[in-house]
C-alpha cells in the first residue's frame, strides 16, 4: 500500500473517479432507460450539476433520444402528470379528446425531477407505478386508457440534511445513487468531450442489451455480494443485473463477464450498502467522513482476510469508467484467472470491488450505524436511514359541497359543468322553460371543493409527570419550559398537546391545538401530587399520537418525568408491578417509532428512566438542575436532532 | 402488449399465493390484502391471477357480464332484455374471462363509479351512462395497489359498494343502479401509512410478505425475472403447464366447495378461537369458516379438519385483532399462540 496519508479531503483523483462514474451513469440511462429506472443525483444546483445535465443531454442526443428532456415541476397536478380530458379540444370538436400527461410524454426518454426530496408521496407513487408498469393507466374524467411509456427518472436531490431524501419508493427503483456534492468545479476535467461515447456503440448497446446472458455463477455471486452488503431488496439485484447487461452490450459482448458484474455492483449496490461486508463494526472513528477514497487505484489486499477491517483510506476507488486505464487491464487479467476459480472466489473478488466503491459519506454513516446498538434509537444520525413518514396528499379537487369549512374550487366547478351544458339546455327546453342567455348552468354535482393541502405539521405532545415525586422537584420549571416551547411551536404553526399524569390517571389536559392562550390556561391550572401512573401515560399518549398521525400530523412526544412509576396499569399501587407495566407499555409503544424525547427531571439521573427511554427508543436527556430556559433549549435541540 | 408474469413462476411467498387462490376459489371469503416489503412480487402475483381463472358464464350483450342465472331485478340491462324474451326464454350466455381490474392511482371518482358519456353529451346532448371500474370488476376482482395511499373519498365509496354489491350513480337526473359484486384485492407497504380499520375489515384475508432472505431463492428470483424479460414467449410456454395445474385445482375446488362439510365440532372450534382472540364482530368467524372451507376444497378434501383451520387462522384473523398494549408480539404470533393453547398439536 503506497499512501497511508489520511487527507482531510477526498483526493482529486477520487473526485475524478466519481465524476467519471457519473458520466457513465448518463450513458447507461440512455442505453436502457426503462430497465434501469434512473438515477438519484444528490447535488446542489450549480455548475457541476449543470455540466452533468449538459453531458446527459449530449449523450441522449447521441443515443437518438427525443429532446428536450422533460421536467416534472414540484406540486404538479394529477391532471398534468397522468393526463385527463382536454376540455378545450373536446368542446371544440364535440369528441372526447384525451390530453396526455407528462408521464405519457416521456416514453423512451428521461424525466427530470428537480427538488426530488420534496416531491410528495402521491406524485411519487404515480411516477413509480409508471416505472413499474411501463405504461400509464388513465381512469380520469370519463376517460379510460392505457398509454405505453417506458422512461427513467433523473431525480435531482438537493437535500442537505440526511433526512431530506427523495421518496423511498423512487430510491428503490432507480439503479443509481450518485453524490456530486463532493465535487467542486475545479475538480472537473477541462472538457467531457473525451468521454463521449460514439453514437454507434450507444445504439448497438440499446438494441442488444436484452440479449446479453449471465451465468448462474455470476448470479450467485451477485446475490452473495448483496447479502454481504446488507441489501435486502430484490429490486436492487435486478437493477444491478440490468446494469451489467448494458455494460456488456456496450462492450459488444453477449455474456456478462465478471468485470461487467463488478462495475455494475459498484454502481448499483455499493451506494446502497447498509453494512460493511464484515459483520464486525468498522472502527475508524478518528477518520473524518469523506476521506476514504484515496489514490491507490489497485489494491490487492483482500479485505475479508484483514482484521480489523481496513480503515477507509485504504479502500481503493472503483473503476467506474468505460475508459479503462491500464489498471483495468491488470484487473482483467486477474478476472480471467478468477473466472476459472470457483464461484466463491468470484464472489470475493466482486465483493472487494463493491466494498471499495461504497461512497465516502455512506461509509461514515455505516460506521455510525454500527455504533448504534438499538436500531430504533433516535440518538446520533439514525435519521439517515429512517423512512420518511411524511404523509401528504396531492393538491386537487374532489366532488362535494363547499360546506363545513371546505373551499369551493370555482375553476374546477366550471370545468365540471361545461361538458353538460348541451344536455341541460335541451332539458330546460324540453320542459318548456326559457334558457337564460349567456349563463352557465351549474348543478349540484358539478361542485368541486379544494382538497386542503396536508402539510406535515408537527404535533409536539408533552407528557408531564405531575405526581408527588416529580411535583416536588421540578413541576414549575417543566411548566415554564413547556410554555417557552409552546411559543416556539406557535411560531412554526405547529400543534401542541399536553397530557398530565398523576394519581391513577393520565389526562389530556390540552387537546392538540395551535392556541397558545389555551395552552397557557391549561398548564397554569395543572395540579400536582399523587402517584405516578407511568404505564398509562405511555399508553394513552401514544394512542393520541397515532390518532394524530392518521390525521396527517407528525407527532413528537416529550416526556418530563423522573421515570419512577408506582401505579400499575390497573391502578393498583406498588413500584415493582408499576415499573414492569411501564416497561411493557414502552416496548409496545416503540412499535410506532415516533420521535420522542425523555427528559429525566429527577435530581440525579436514574437508571429506571433511562431504561424506559431506551425501550421507547427515546432520546434520553437527564436535566437535574436546569431551569425552564435550559429545558426548553434542550428540547428544541433534541427534537431537531431526533 | 407486455404479458403478465406467470403465477406459478413466482418463487416462494406461499402464504400470499395461498390466500390469493382461496379468494379466487370462493369470492364470498372477501378478498385479500397483501402488505409488505417493497419489491416482493405483490403486484405481480395479483396480476398473474387473471390468467388462472376459469372463464365464467355470462349474459351476452350485458355490459356488466351478469350471471345468466342471476335473479331478475339486479341488473337494468338484463332486465330490459328479459322483457323482450318470450315466456320461458333464456338469456343468451357466453363464456367471458373473469375480470381483474386495476385501479390506478389518480383515478377520479367518475371513472370509478361510472358517469355520463361525455362525448355523447357533447355531440348529441344525449344522456348515456358510461360504466366505470366498479362495473368492469363485477363478478371479478378489483385490484388496488398502494391501497393505503388511496384517497379517503374513494375509500369511502369502495367500502360502501363492496358491502352492498350495488353501485348507484346519480347524474344529470339519471339514476342508475347496477350490480357490482367484486373481490377487493389490495396491496401496499405498511410503512407508508396505515389502513383505516373499516377498510381493513373488508378484506377477508390479510397476508404479510417479506423479502426472501435465502440466497438460493434470491438467485432463482432474479434468474426467472431475467428469463422472462428476455424471452417472454418461451418463458410463458414453460410455465403454462404449471399454471394449468393451478387452474385445474381452482376449477375442481369450485365444484367441490358446496359439498365440503364442516361439522359442529369444527364450528365450535372456530367460535372458540375467535372469542379467545377477541375479534370484533361476526365477520371474523364467518370469514374464517368460509376460508377454511375453501382451503379444504382447494386441497380436494370433503371435510374441514383442524389442519385446515391451523393454516388459515392467521390470514383470516390477524388483521382483526385489536392492539394489545400488554402484548407487543405481532398479530400473527398471537393468532398462532392462541391456536396452540386451544388446540395443542397431538404428538403423532
Res. A473 pLDDT band, cuts 50 70 90: low
Does the pLDDT value for residue A301 go beyond 60?
Answer: no
Please state, as a whole number, how many other Cβ atoms lie within 10 Å of the Cβ of residue A642. Answer: 20
Whether residue A307 has pLDDT greater than 80:
no
Residue B261 pairs with which residues in a beta bridge? B303
- Check if the interface score ipTM surpasses 0.85: no
How far, rounded to the nearest angstrom, does the alpha carbon of residue A373 sit from its chain's CA centroid? Answer: 22
The confidence band for A543, taking pLDDT boundaries of 50, 70 and 90, is: confident
Predicted structure pTM score: 0.70
Query: What band does A470 get if pLDDT is binned at 50, 70 and 90?
Result: low
Q: How confident is the model at residue A366 (pLDDT cuts 50, 70, 90)?
A: low
d(CA B287, CA B297): 15
State the nearest Cα–Cα gap between B222 and chain A, in angstroms.
6
CB A597 within 8 A of CB A558: yes
Residue B224 C-alpha from the chain's centroid: 26
CB A353 within 8 Å of CB A302: no
Give kind and range of the element (H or E) at residue A582: helix A575-589
> Roughly what angle, to the nearest 10 degrees, separates helices B14-25 and B42-49?
30
B149:A125 CB<8 A: yes
Whole-number pLDDT of residue A627:
66
With CB atoms and an 8 Å threshold, state whether B325 touches A584.
Answer: yes
Q: pLDDT tens, A547-585? A: 887 766 778 888 888 888 888 888 888 888 888 888 888
pLDDT at position A375 is 33
Amino acid A353: pLDDT: 72
Kind plus residue range of the DSSP H or E element containing A508: strand A505-513
User: Closest Cα of chain B to A150: distance in Å?
Assistant: 12
Query: Which residue of B105, B191, B326 is in closest CB contact with A584?
Result: B326
Which of these, A195, A196, A197, A206, lies nearest to A245 by C-alpha position? A206
Handedness of CA A58, A59, A64, A66 (dihedral sign): negative
pLDDT in tens, A169-213: 898 899 999 988 888 888 888 888 888 999 999 999 999 998 899
Contact between B104 and A137 using a beta-carbon 8 Å cutoff: yes
Predicted confidence (pLDDT) per residue in B23-60, tens digit: 999 988 888 999 887 677 888 898 898 888 888 889 98
Segment (H or E) for A126: helix A121-133
Residue A301, number of CB atoms within 10 A of its CB: 14
Spatial separation of the C-alpha atoms in residues A61 and A346, rounded to whole Å: 37
Q: How confident is the model at residue A284 (pLDDT cuts 50, 70, 90)?
A: very low
Cβ(A234)–Cβ(A191) under 8 Å?
A: no
Cell triple for residue B128? 348515456
Residues 6 or more apart whose Cβ sits within 8 Å of residue B31 = B23, B141, B183, B184, B185, B186, B202, B203, B204, B205
Among B42, B45, B105, B199, pick the best mutation site for testing chain A contact (most A Cβ within 10 A). B105
Mutation to test the B interface, candidates A119, A133, A142, most B Cβ within 10 Å: A142
Yes or no, beta carbons of A399 and B325 under 8 Å apart: no
Contact assignment for B40 to A424 by CB distance below 8 Å: no
- CA distance to partner chain B, nearest, from residue A603 (Å): 30
Higher pLDDT, A453 or B284: B284
Would the pLDDT of A458 be above 90? no
> Given A82, A94, A220, which is nearest B219 (Cβ)?
A220
Q: Which residue has the higher pLDDT, A292 or A87?
A: A87
Which of B38, B119, B172 minimises the CB distance to A96? B119
Copy the grid coordinates of residue A351. Answer: 465483493
Closest CA to A486 of A518, A456, A454: A518
Mean pLDDT computed over A46-62: 93
What pLDDT digit, counting tens, does each position of A402-439 carry?
Answer: 776 667 777 788 878 888 888 888 888 888 888 777 78
CA-CA distance, A465 to A451, in Å (whole number)? 39
Region of residue B99 (phi > 0: left; psi between -120 and 50: alpha; otherwise: beta): beta
pLDDT recorded at residue B17? 93
CA atoms within 13 A on the CB side of A167: 24
Specify the DSSP element, H or E, that contains A524: helix A516-524
Instruction: Give the length of chain A.
Output: 642
By Cβ distance, the residue of B104, B146, B151 closest to A139 is B104
Of residues A12 and A68, more confidence is placed in A68
Using one digit for the tens of pLDDT, what is the confidence trace for B301-315?
A: 999 999 999 999 999
With cell 369470492, the residue in question is B27
Catalytic residues of B: 283
Q: Test B211 with A94 for CB contact under 8 angstroms.
A: no
* Confidence tier at A387 by pLDDT (50, 70, 90): very low
- 3-class state of residue A561 by DSSP: strand
The stretches in chain B having pLDDT less than 50 are: 1, 325-326, 347-348
A7 or A266, which is more confident: A266
Nearest residue of B to residue A209, measured between CA atoms: B230
Cα distances (Å, whole numbers) of residue B123 to A437, A544, B118, B235, B279 = 20, 54, 9, 47, 55
A503-542 pLDDT, tens digit each? 888 888 888 876 666 777 777 777 777 888 888 899 888 8
More confident residue, A309 or A154: A154
pLDDT at A374 over 80: no
Of A557, A555, A542, the closest CA to residue A589 belongs to: A542
Q: Which chain B residue has its CA at the smallest distance from A425's CA?
A: B125
- Please tell me the predicted confidence (pLDDT) of residue A281: 38
Residue percentage of chain A with pLDDT more than 90: 19
> Residue A373 contacts by C-beta under 8 Å, 6 or more apart in sequence?
none
Q: In this model, does residue A288 exceed pLDDT 70? A: no
Rounded CA separation A531/A451 (Å): 46
In whole angstroms, what is the distance from residue A623 CA to residue A465 CA?
14
Amino acid at each position: 500500500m503506497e499512501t497511508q496519508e489520511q487527507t482531510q479531503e477526498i483526493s482529486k483523483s477520487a473526485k475524478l473517479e466519481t465524476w467519471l462514474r457519473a458520466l457513465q451513469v448518463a450513458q447507461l440511462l440512455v442505453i436502457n432507460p426503462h430497465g434501469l429506472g434512473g438515477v438519484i443525483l444528490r447535488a446542489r444546483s450549480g455548475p457541476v450539476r449543470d455540466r452533468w445535465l449538459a453531458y446527459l443531454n449530449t449523450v441522449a442526443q447521441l443515443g437518438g433520444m427525443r429532446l428536450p428532456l422533460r421536467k416534472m415541476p414540484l406540486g404538479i397536478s394529477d391532471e398534468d402528470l397522468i393526463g385527463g380530458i382536454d376540455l378545450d379540444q373536446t368542446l371544440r370538436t364535440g369528441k372526447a379528446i384525451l390530453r396526455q400527461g407528462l408521464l405519457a410524454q416521456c416514453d423512451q426518454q428521461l424525466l427530470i425531477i428537480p427538488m426530488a426530496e420534496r416531491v410528495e408521496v402521491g406524485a411519487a407513487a404515480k411516477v413509480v407505478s409508471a416505472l413499474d408498469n411501463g405504461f400509464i393507466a388513465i381512469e380520469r374524467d370519463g376517460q379510460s386508457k392505457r398509454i405505453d411509456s417506458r422512461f427513467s427518472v433523473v431525480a435531482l436531490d438537493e437535500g442537505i440534511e440526511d433526512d431530506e431524501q427523495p421518496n423511498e419508493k423512487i430510491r428503490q427503483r432507480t439503479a443509481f445513487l450518485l453524490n456530486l456534492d463532493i465535487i467542486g468545479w475545479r475538480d472537473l476535467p477541462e472538457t467531457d468531450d473525451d468521454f463521449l461515447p460514439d453514437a454507434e456503440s450507444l445504439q448497438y448497446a440499446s438494441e442488444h442489451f436484452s440479449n446479453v446472458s449471465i451465468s448462474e455463477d455470476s448470479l450467485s455471486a451477485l446475490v452473495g455480494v448483496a447479502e454481504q452488503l446488507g441489501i435486502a431488496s430484490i429490486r436492487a439485484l435486478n437493477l444491478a443485473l440490468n446494469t451489467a447487461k448494458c455494460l456488456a452490450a456496450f462492450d459488444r459482448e453477449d455474456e456478462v463477464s465478471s468485470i461487467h458484474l463488478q462495475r455494475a455492483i459498484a454502481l448499483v449496490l455499493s451506494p446502497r450498502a447498509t453494512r460493511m461486508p464484515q459483520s464486525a463494526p468498522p472502527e475508524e472513528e478518528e477518520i473524518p467522513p469523506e476521506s476514504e477514497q484515496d489514490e491507490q487505484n489497485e489494491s490487492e489486499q483482500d479485505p475479508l482476510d484483514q482484521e480489523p477491517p481496513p480503515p477507509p483510506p485504504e479502500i481503493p476507488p472503483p473503476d467506474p469508467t468505460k475508459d479503462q486505464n491500464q489498471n483495468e487491464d491488470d484487473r482483467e487479467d486477474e478476472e480471467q484467472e478468477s473466472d476459472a476459480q470457483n464461484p466463491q472466489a468470484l464472489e470475493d473478488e466482486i465483493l472487494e470491488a463493491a466494498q471499495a466503491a461504497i461512497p465516502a459519506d455512506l461509509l461514515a454513516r455505516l460506521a455510525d450505524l454500527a455504533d448504534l446498538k438499538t436500531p430504533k434509537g433516535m440518538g446520533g444520525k439514525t435519521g439517515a436511514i429512517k423512512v420518511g413518514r411524511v404523509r401528504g396528499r396531492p393538491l386537487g379537487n374532489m366532488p362535494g359541497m363547499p360546506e363545513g369549512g371546505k373551499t369551493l374550487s370555482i375553476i374546477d366547478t366550471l370545468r365540471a359543468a361545461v361538458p353538460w351544458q348541451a344536455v341541460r339546455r335541451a332539458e330546460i327546453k324540453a320542459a318548456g322553460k326559457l334558457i337564460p342567455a349567456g349563463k352557465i348552468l351549474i348543478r349540484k354535482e358539478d361542485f368541486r371543493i379544494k382538497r386542503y393541502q396536508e402539510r406535515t405539521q408537527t404535533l409536539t405532545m408533552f407528557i408531564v409527570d405531575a405526581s408527588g415525586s416529580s411535583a416536588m422537584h421540578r413541576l414549575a420549571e417543566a411548566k415554564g419550559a413547556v410554555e417557552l416551547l409552546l411559543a416556539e411551536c406557535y411560531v412554526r404553526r405547529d400543534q401542541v398537546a399536553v397530557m398530565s399524569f398523576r394519581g391513577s390517571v393520565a389526562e389530556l389536559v390540552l387537546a392538540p391545538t395551535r392556541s397558545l392562550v389555551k395552552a397557557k390556561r391549561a398548564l397554569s391550572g395543572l395540579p400536582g401530587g399523587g402517584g405516578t401512573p407511568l404505564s398509562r401515560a405511555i399508553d394513552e399518549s401514544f394512542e393520541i399520537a397515532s390518532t394524530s398521525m392518521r390525521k396527517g400530523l407528525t407527532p413528537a412526544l416529550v416526556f418530563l418525568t423522573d421515570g419512577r412509576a408506582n401505579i400499575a396499569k390497573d391502578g393498583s399501587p406498588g413500584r415493582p408491578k408499576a415499573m414492569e407495566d411501564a416497561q411493557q407499555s414502552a416496548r409496545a409503544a416503540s412499535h410506532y417509532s415516533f420521535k420522542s424525547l425523555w427528559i429525566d427531571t429527577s435530581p440525579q439521573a436514574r437508571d429506571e428512566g433511562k431504561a424506559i427511554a431506551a425501550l421507547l427508543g427515546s432520546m434520553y436527556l437527564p436535566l437535574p438542575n436546569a431551569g425552564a430556559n435550559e429545558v426548553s433549549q434542550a428540547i428544541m435541540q433534541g427534537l431537531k436532532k431526533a | 402488449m407486455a404479458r403478465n408474469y406467470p403465477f406459478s413462476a413466482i418463487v416462494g411467498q406461499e402464504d400470499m399465493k395461498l390466500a390469493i387462490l382461496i379468494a379466487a376459489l370462493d369470492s364470498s371469503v372477501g378478498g385479500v390484502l397483501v402488505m409488505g416489503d417493497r419489491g416482493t412480487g405483490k403486484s405481480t402475483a395479483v396480476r398473474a391471477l387473471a390468467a388462472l381463472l376459469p372463464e365464467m358464464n355470462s349474459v351476452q350483450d350485458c355490459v356488466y357480464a351478469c350471471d345468466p342465472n342471476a335473479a331478475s331485478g339486479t341488473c337494468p340491462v338484463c332486465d330490459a332484455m328479459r322483457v323482450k324474451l318470450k315466456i320461458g326464454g333464456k338469456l343468451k350466455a357466453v363464456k367471458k374471462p373473469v375480470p381483474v381490474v386495476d385501479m390506478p392511482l389518480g383515478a377520479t371518482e367518475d371513472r370509478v363509479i361510472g358517469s355520463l358519456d361525455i362525448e355523447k353529451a357533447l355531440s348529441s346532448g344525449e344522456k348515456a351512462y358510461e360504466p366505470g371500474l366498479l362495473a368492469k370488476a363485477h363478478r371479478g376482482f378489483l385490484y388496488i395497489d398502494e391501497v393505503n395511499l388511496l384517497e379517503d373519498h374513494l375509500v369511502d365509496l369502495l367500502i360502501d359498494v363492496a358491502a352492498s354489491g350495488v353501485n348507484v350513480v346519480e347524474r344529470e337526473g339519471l339514476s342508475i343502479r347496477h350490480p357490482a359484486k367484486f373481490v377487493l384485492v389490495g396491496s401496499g407497504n405498511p410503512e407508508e401509512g396505515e389502513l383505516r380499520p373499516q377498510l381493513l375489515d373488508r378484506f377477508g384475508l390479510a397476508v404479510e410478505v417479506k423479502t426472501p432472505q435465502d440466497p438460493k431463492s434470491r438467485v432463482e428470483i432474479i434468474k426467472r425475472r431475467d428469463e422472462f424479460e428476455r424471452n417472454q414467449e418461451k418463458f410463458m410456454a414453460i410455465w403454462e403447464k404449471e399454471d394449468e395445474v393451478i387452474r385445474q385445482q381452482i376449477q375442481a375446488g369450485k365444484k367441490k366447495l358446496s359439498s365440503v362439510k364442516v361439522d359442529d365440532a369444527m364450528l365450535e372450534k372456530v367460535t372458540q378461537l375467535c372469542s379467545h382472540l377477541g375479534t370484533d364482530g361476526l365477520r371474523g368467524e364467518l370469514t374464517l369458516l368460509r376460508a377454511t372451507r375453501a382451503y379444504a376444497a382447494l386441497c380436494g378434501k370433503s371435510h374441514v379438519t383442524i389442519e385446515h383451520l391451523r393454516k388459515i387462522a392467521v390470514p383470516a384473523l390477524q388483521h382483526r385483532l385489536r392492539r394489545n398494549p400488554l402484548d407487543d408480539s405481532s398479530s400473527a404470533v398471537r393468532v398462532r399462540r392462541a391456536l396452540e393453547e386451544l388446540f395443542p398439536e397431538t404428538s403423532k
